[in-house]
Structure 1
Amino acid sequence: MRTRTLLLLTSLLALVVAGCGAPRASPGTKPTADVLSSLGRDESIAALLPEATRRSGVVGFGSSVGGRPPSSYYAEDNRTVLGQDIDIAEAVGRVLGVRVEREVAGFEAILPALASGKYEVGTGNFGVTEARLTTVDFVTYVNDGQGFAVRADDTRLEKVETLHQLCGLKIAVGAGTTFEATLEREKQVCPANGEPAYEVLTFSENAAIFPGLRQRHFDVIMSTINGLRHAAANQPNLKFLNEFKRLDVGFAFKKGSPLTPAFQAAVNKLIADGTYQRVLTKWGTTASAIPRSEISPPERA
């Protein structure tokens, strides 16, 4: 049923997305501050890299590029990738003295591809969860998490504190995300109380989600806190409701990857020298700063 619903909604939204072309940033969402040019290789941190990586000078990334800032998005040329995740990855690469070789991929495809060796590192605002920690290691660089948004003219919800408040509503999420996992795991909360279940609609293409909400194909968006806050500030008739749960976000690696100590040291150097704060200031995400990077910390309670 969910697959049929997704296909139907995809068809309904196809003309909208096609009319918009590739995702573009909203006016005023192209920060130009130079926060990276002064960075150079730190020999002591680069020495933590595996010998093969030091020789090649390249690290292969699989990156999910969302439709809107601040995490990652396409510039108006529809080729250049911008955003907080991009700047932090580039900054780490400069400290390590390696080139970031990025392939854009679907969010739900990246974590499985780490185990196969297709990518060495995954980025895409991946939240650290206990389920993911069974197969993936993380090096954290911000905390973000789960939030909700609705149309500004929709008065049914003011704040989502429990999923029981969503009974009978249609919620749009990205495929393979913590949002989908959270909603699916708790889906019986409404029928258990004699109320209609909420419906989870998953999308591989995030560009379809905001137009779909505007056209009333669903009622609520569950997505990243930073992404929804930014979208609400730059789109008409969109209201950010509230933070639901904070999660650490990190670079993702296959379990036991030898790259993690070097990446952690690089992030901590960026925090110590002020580059990290400048990147987050550039993208308006200073509330997501962490005091230090960790390797595979437990999921936030």
Structure 2
Amino acid sequence: MKTRRTLVAAFSVTLAATLLGACGSGDAQETVGAKNKKGGQLNIGPDQHRVRGKKVASIAAKVPAAIRERGSLRIGGSADAAAPLGFYATDDKTRIGSEIDLATLVADTLGLKVDFQAVSWENLFVGLDSSKFDAVFSNVTVTEERKEKYDFATYRLDDLAFEAKKGTDWRVKGPKDVAGKTIAVSSGTNQEKILIDWSKKNEKAGRKPVDIKYFQKDTDYYLALQSGRIDAYLGPHPTSAYHVASAGQTQIIGTFSGGGDAVQGKIAATTKKGSGLVDAYAAAIDHVIDDGSYAKVLKRWGLSSEAVKKSEINPRGLPRP
């Protein structure tokens, strides 16, 4: 999202190289990755052995006839997304990640093949407007402004995370916990706005403001964290959780809604308003939640804490700027 982008694709390449160096020898097609905290492997090879679903006729019937006849679901994803959401496998051409896995489960349930297309963030919405895409699965947050043009079926919570050096006993539960701390954040994001608001609250309460730092490259945040130049990095929870599991040098010390105090942010399958598809997406998501395949996908990518109990159609979104 323009207001809350994940780490850029360049970081995915760097991280993949780091993981390859960490895992040593092995079958790159199946077990490439780094040891997670439970001793398992984070698979970043092209052979994903995805969790798959089966067609449910009653749900598939909700799909408009023209798409059923076509037999495929054209799904857009951001080429700028990063691990574990959407990134390139070790062959540098296969797109993998949690968003791809969840979109595949939905398509399976609807009895449709998947036609994935990775484009720039802005072109995701151009693709929806022009009906090039039937859906976008790409960490899109529901907002009140977007609801004017698009329909949403939620499938994950939109959370942010404070990531600190491993072993720290510092925890973040609210503004006072970051008073006087040096924290890095990406410019122009929801998390930056939240951090600035918290800093102002601290000053108003007579506490020290937050010393906010910005870096040119996303990987520089982690170098600064390890060197002690910053106390924490505030970013999207999915990428922080992936980094914690893969690198093993940091820990999450606090999580918060991407909507701040105003509303719990929610990530959703996005479709053009009035396309007739949102009911089918919601029903398919509810089905994979009920049959347990949804939980397996989230667990696989370290995102279990962002699970939803059911899909909501066009819920309350982040307020207008």
Q: Normalising by structure 1, what TM-score?
A: 0.73
Change (3 A) 1:251 1:89: same
Which whole-Å CA distance do the structure 2 matches of 1:214 and 1:130 have between them?
Answer: 38
Residue in structure 2 matched with residue 235 of structure 1 by the alignment: 247
Change (3 A) 1:137 1:207: farther
Equivalent position to 2:51, from 13, 31, 35: 35
Asked if structure 2 preserves the Cα contact closer than 8 Å seen for 1:184 and 1:200, the reply is no
SS at match of 2:308: coil
Q: CA deviation at 1:196?
A: 5.8
Which whole-Å CA distance do the structure 2 matches of 1:296 and 1:174 have between them?
Answer: 28
Asked if structure 2 preserves the Cα contact closer than 8 Å seen for 1:169 and 1:198, the reply is yes
Which whole-Å CA distance do the structure 1 matches of 2:159 and 2:296 have between them?
Answer: 21
Query: Once the two structures are aligned, what percentage of the paired residues are identical?
Result: 25
Q: For 1:187-198, list aligned pairs within 5 A.
A: 189=201
SS at match of 2:178: helix
Residue in structure 2 matched with residue 120 of structure 1 by the alignment: 134
Residue in structure 1 matched with residue 14 of structure 2 by the alignment: 20
Asked if structure 2 preserves the Cα contact closer than 8 Å seen for 1:33 and 1:282, the reply is no
Query: Which segments of 5 or more consecutive residues in structure 1 lack a partner in the other structure?
Result: 1-15
Q: For 1:123-202, list aligned pairs within 5 A.
A: 123-152=137-166, 158-159=171-172, 161-162=174-175, 165=178, 169=182, 171-173=184-186, 177-180=189-192, 182-183=194-195, 189=201, 199=212, 201=214
Q: RMSD between aligned alpha carbons?
A: 3.9
SS at match of 2:287: helix
Q: CA deviation at 1:142?
A: 2.1
Q: For 1:1-301, list aligned pairs within 5 A.
A: 20=14, 26-27=33-34, 28-30=41-43, 34-36=50-52, 39-64=53-78, 66-69=81-84, 71-107=85-121, 110-111=124-125, 113-152=127-166, 158-159=171-172, 161-162=174-175, 165=178, 169=182, 171-173=184-186, 177-180=189-192, 182-183=194-195, 189=201, 199=212, 201=214, 209-211=221-223, 213-214=225-226, 220-245=232-257, 246-299=264-317
Residue in structure 2 matched with residue 7 of structure 1 by the alignment: none
Kindly indicate which of the two structures has a greater share of residues assigned to helix: 1
Count of residue pairs the alignment pairs up: 281
Asked if structure 1 preserves the Cα contact closer than 8 Å seen for 2:124 and 2:136, the reply is yes
Residue in structure 2 matched with residue 6 of structure 1 by the alignment: none
Q: CA deviation at 1:134?
A: 4.0
Which whole-Å CA distance do the structure 1 matches of 2:286 and 2:164 have between them?
Answer: 37
